[in-house]
Amino acid sequence: MKIDFKFSNLLGTVYCKGNLLFTPDGTCLLSPVGNRVTVFDLINNKSHTLPFSHRRNISRIALTPQGNLLLSVDEDGRAVLTNLPRQLALYYFSFKGPVTALAFSPSGRHFAVGTGRHVEVWRTPSTPDSGADGELEFAPFVRHRVHAGHHDTVQSVEWSGDSRFFLSAAKDLTARIWSLDSEEGFVPTTLAGHRERVLGAWFSSDQESIYTISQDGALFRWAYVAKAGHVDDGDVPEGQDLSLRWRIVQRHYFLQNDAKVKCAAFHSSSNLLVAGFSNGLFGLYEMPEFNMIHTLSISQNGIDFVAMNKTGEWLAFGASKLGQLLVWEWQSESYILKQQGHYDSMNALVYSPDGQRIITTADDGKIKKFQNVHVSYKDTILQTQTSEPLQVQADVLDVAFRPDSKQIAVSTLDGQLTFWSVSDASQQAGVDGRRDVSGGRKLTDRRTAANAAGTKAFGAIKYSADGTCILAGGTSKYICLYDVQSGTLLKKFTVSVNLSLDGTQEFLNSRNLTEAGPAGLIDDQGEASDLEDRIDRALPGSSRGDLSRRKTRSEVRVTAVGFSPTGRAFCAASTEGLLIYSLDHALQFDPFDLDITITTASTLKVLAERDYLRALVMAFRLNERNLIRRVYEAIPVADISLVVKSLPTVYLALLLRFVAQAADETPHLEFNLLWLEASLSAHGRYLKDNSGSFPAEMRTVQRAVSRIQSDLARMADDNIYALDYLLSQPIVTPKRDLMEEVKALADGQEESVDVEEEWMGLEYDGENST
């Protein structure tokens, strides 16, 4: 059995905290889920989680206008620069403090960061596709300038359309205008006048107006005008007017029944402003008239962040209290995406028999199914007349049956795994997993992680599909995979390295230990600036939820594990969500037998020379999906069989996997089927003799062909029913032809009518019909 499982996806959690982002094409939404980033494909209804992770929860993410670089920052200010199309982490960096605002310039050459009371501007590292000649100038981040002037934390940073100026909004009740470089005659300007913290500031499309919005629901429109009633005395030099300055020209108020504004977004091209309130309501307004277009309540809790796509048609909302994520199309008033994760810990999961669907349950009283199929639930209790107890040394936490029903595995509180024979009730093997499951130290632990082995055990176990291995997880940050026969540990998987969770650290920092206890457990809720955040809703003596005196931190643990029936994936219900580990790595770049002469340019050059076999092999060696598709679709239909016959068998698995995926994604039905037919005809004997090496590829091909067959059958049935309906309708003679025929008969001109042309219906022959 292969054990090279790697993290592939995170389900069950759709939004935690931080800002939301749309990709430049507007079809995908990026959402921070704990210390990872999940990409939601809104067109194909799919999602995948990027492979990198932070040490703490992500607070801010930003994407370049080209959509190739993603910058994510966690709560401690540590950033990761990622190539989004290839899903590769390029550079790790620290801003040496919490980041509260982050935005790339429209040109993509700079990005602004709000760190405390300062705004820092940094140069964006260049990539080969950004230069004119494709040159690479990659260097660590270079700071361009630091702007100081705010007296409290910066809340938002927004750029102008020409990337020359940017606006910053802060908690000091002001917004400021800054310039990227020194501009002649420009002086940084302060926009003051709000009574509460300013949440955002934006330029209009023509940059003649500025909109600012504060937490109390006040919206100001600023313009560069002279003071009302000012008379020019003529002493000012020509071309200058000292009375011109940024002034408030319009004031608007939302008036939402004591609800505070928590987030806002402005789309300059369409002059649309959307605001989210603390009561779960959002409003869409048209500027500058402040005409209300739409209001809707989408949550019982406050909306933490709102974003708009490039066209301004889709609105994305995130509510962290219950982990809600919604995408709303305001023109059609319909939901594009409506998801809510488990806001309490998961406690069970199960795979469907085909391995394509997963059902999860949690303490929040919800049952969630992924890939959205109909699932029926039945409660059945079987009683046996005879039974024989099995004696173990500690309390039993979980029991698992081997797939052949001849052996059971028992997990006990002392960290032991014992294997028993069902036929004779005798113990066959045992594993001492106390040292394997130990790891991680909580803030309240008095002992080190190495000495806390007796306090942890496996609370969830599951056999593999072939019964040779067993997967175990529990009150630890590790998942262990054991070989049943030998009892050896094959591999340990780390569930999370998120320091925002309790139990992920091996060593605690003594500087965080105070007289009142660990600093991470001291309740500082009373020091919050907002009244709704200072309200104490705790019940004295409660052991769950908000405690009365101290705050709690979620502890990393695994409550359930499950193997896919195919044996190529397993999932684990953890504190962060549903983690999926798979052998099928869908990486964008995974070179195979690569050398220095194999490049994209050389592959395209060989393709232009019509050397199709060599071009296809070179594309497979690079294993870059877009390049493989370009070569694949450029091969003529007449040459498919010749190319497949000459293709080395080492590339056969790559070809089958790619063609099966292309059959699901591209509309070239006959073209893809010709490739599959040629591959199976030319290499059928080799595939049969080596069937154990191609199980995943053959299953993928079978699923693709079955889907095509079902689609064609459904289409044929629809066409047959439509034809039957049309043929059953009577033939009506057109009115004009009937009048001409009556007139001809009246004139004595009889026309012969060929009775054979009359429609008599379809002749049915039971022997020849299909």
Q: What is the CATH number of the domain that holds 565?
A: 2.130.10.10
Which residues have CB under 8 Å from 593's CB, separation 6+? 621, 650
* Residue 135 is assigned to a structural domain of this protein: no
Q: Which residue has the higher pLDDT, 106 or 227?
A: 106
For residues 604 and 699, membership in a common domain is answered with yes
pLDDT higher than 90, residue 178: yes
Nearest 5°: phi and psi at 27? -95, -15
Q: With CA atoms as reference, report the closest residue to 69 among 55, 56, 50.
A: 50
Q: How many percent of the chain have pLDDT more than 90?
A: 26
Mean pLDDT of 5-29: 88
pLDDT band at 525 (very low <50, low <70, confident <90, very high): low
How far from 514 is each of 522, 527, 534, CA to CA, in Å? 9, 18, 23
* Residue 525 is assigned to a structural domain of this protein: no
Cα 246–250–256 angle (5° rounding)?
130
User: What is the CATH number for 301?
Assistant: 2.40.10
Using the structure block, give the residue that is written with the tokens 């059902």: 359
* Residue 314 is assigned to a structural domain of this protein: yes
SS3 content of the chain, % helix, strand, coil (to 5): 20, 35, 45
pLDDT band at 257 (very low <50, low <70, confident <90, very high): confident
- Which tens digits make up the pLDDT trace of 70-98? 999 999 999 999 989 888 888 899 998 99
pLDDT band at 272 (very low <50, low <70, confident <90, very high): very high
Q: How far apart are CA 661 and CA 584, in angstroms?
A: 13
For residues 334 and 402, membership in a common domain is answered with no
pLDDT higher than 50, residue 768: no
- Which tens digits make up the pLDDT trace of 129-167? 554 454 555 567 889 999 998 999 999 999 999 999 999
- Of the residues 687, 711, 735, the one at which a domain ends: 711
For residues 333 and 353, membership in a common domain is answered with no
For residues 397 and 500, membership in a common domain is answered with yes
For residues 401 and 493, membership in a common domain is answered with yes
Counting the structural domains of the chain, the total is: 3
Q: pLDDT at position 191, please?
A: 93
How far from 591 is each of 4, 128, 346, 630, CA to CA, in Å? 18, 19, 38, 17
* Residue 484 is assigned to a structural domain of this protein: yes
Q: How far apart are CA 256 and CA 237, in angstroms?
A: 48
Q: How many percent of the chain have pLDDT more than 70?
A: 79
Question: Mean pLDDT lowest for which of 107-121, 461-475, 555-569?
Answer: 555-569
- Of the residues 531, 566, 588, the one at which a domain ends: 588
Mean pLDDT of 394-421: 85
For residues 440 and 569, membership in a common domain is answered with yes
Q: Which residue has the higher pLDDT, 732 or 269?
A: 269
Q: Which residue has the higher pLDDT, 350 or 103?
A: 103
- Which tens digits make up the pLDDT trace of 586-636? 444 445 455 666 788 888 888 999 889 889 988 888 878 888 989 999 999
Mean pLDDT of 288-316: 90
- Spell out where 254-365 has E strands: 261-267, 272-277, 281-286, 291-297, 305-308, 314-319, 324-329, 334-340, 346-351, 358-362
For residues 450 and 562, membership in a common domain is answered with yes
The pLDDT mean for the chain works out to 80
For residues 415 and 359, membership in a common domain is answered with yes
Q: Which residue has the higher pLDDT, 735 or 679?
A: 679
Round to the nearest angstrom and report the end-to-end CA distance of the chain: 47
Q: pLDDT at position 736, please?
A: 60
Using the structure block, give the residue that is written with the tokens 């052996």: 407
Q: How far apart are CA 123 and CA 188, in angstroms?
A: 21
How far from 41 is each of 62, 338, 571, 587, CA to CA, in Å? 18, 13, 22, 17
203 near 160, Cβ under 8 Å? yes
* Residue 764 is assigned to a structural domain of this protein: no
pLDDT band at 756 (very low <50, low <70, confident <90, very high): very low
* Residue 549 is assigned to a structural domain of this protein: no
- Which tens digits make up the pLDDT trace of 322-332? 888 999 999 88
Report the amino acid identity of residue 156: S
User: What is the CATH number for 619?
Assistant: 1.25.40
Question: Mean pLDDT lowest for which of 143-157, 426-440, 466-480?
Answer: 426-440
For residues 454 and 580, membership in a common domain is answered with yes
Q: How far apart are CA 442 and CA 512, in angstroms?
A: 13
For residues 440 and 401, membership in a common domain is answered with yes
Query: pTM of this prediction?
Result: 0.69
The residues that bridge with 148 in the sheet, in sequence order, are 118
Q: How far apart are CA 130 and CA 140, in angstroms?
A: 17
Residue-number span of the structural domain to which 281 is assigned: 263-341
* Residue 415 is assigned to a structural domain of this protein: yes
The alpha carbons of the chain give a radius of gyration, in whole angstroms, of: 33
For residues 281 and 361, membership in a common domain is answered with no
For residues 576 and 684, membership in a common domain is answered with no
Q: With CA atoms as reference, report the closest residue to 117 among 75, 71, 168.
A: 168
* Residue 172 is assigned to a structural domain of this protein: no
Question: Mean pLDDT lowest for which of 249-258, 290-299, 318-327, 521-530?
Answer: 521-530
pLDDT higher than 90, residue 455: no
Question: Mean pLDDT lowest for which of 158-162, 346-350, 706-710?
Answer: 346-350
